Structure 1
């Protein structure tokens, strides 16, 4: 699985990139047919403290899976996206088993 990390409008620290790479890499344990994982970080221009946005797109055979989260920190947003994608993967696997 290829993992691509993009930052829009700022330069990310290596710690953030390593954290995102580790979290996204764990998704391959749930579904082994993942082709590519694209993680995008951006900062929302709102006045609240919850302005860190993380988007994760999984390229898999069939339809791609997408999750977005907006939190106080990029790490928290990444964790929420990964949890959402795990639920989407489990739902997809149960659909495939019933067919």
Structure 2
């Protein structure tokens, strides 16, 4: 799976990019036909608190799975997103089996 990461209005450091690649790479164990993952990282500046928004789009044959989460750190957001995407991939895989 190819992972494309885009950071909006800031530069993501190498450690964060490696963390994202490692976490999303684990999704291959649930569904091995993932084409690519596109990650958007944004800073939300609402008042005193700066929240981090992460959105991941995973392309699978015939569909796109999307998860978005806001947290205090990008790492926490990516952790939550991978949990959501695991469930989506399992459901997608079950739907694929039913159609065969």
Normalising by structure 1, we get a TM-score of: 0.93
In structure 1, the gaps of 5 or more residues are none
Paired with 1:34 and 1:88, the residues of 2 have a C-alpha distance of: 12
- Return the offset for 1:48: 5.5
> What are the residue-to-residue correspondences of 1:1-99 with 2, within 5 Å?
1-47=1-47, 49=49, 51-99=51-99
Asked whether the 8 Å contact 2:43–2:50 carries over to 1, the reply is no
Normalising by structure 2, we get a TM-score of: 0.92
Paired with 1:69 and 1:76, the residues of 2 have a C-alpha distance of: 9
In structure 2, the gaps of 5 or more residues are none
SS at match of 2:45: coil
Aligned residues: 99
Paired with 2:49 and 2:76, the residues of 1 have a C-alpha distance of: 13
The structure with the greater share of residues assigned to strand is: 2
Note the aligned Cα RMSD (angstroms). 1.3
Paired with 1:90 and 1:50, the residues of 2 have a C-alpha distance of: 33
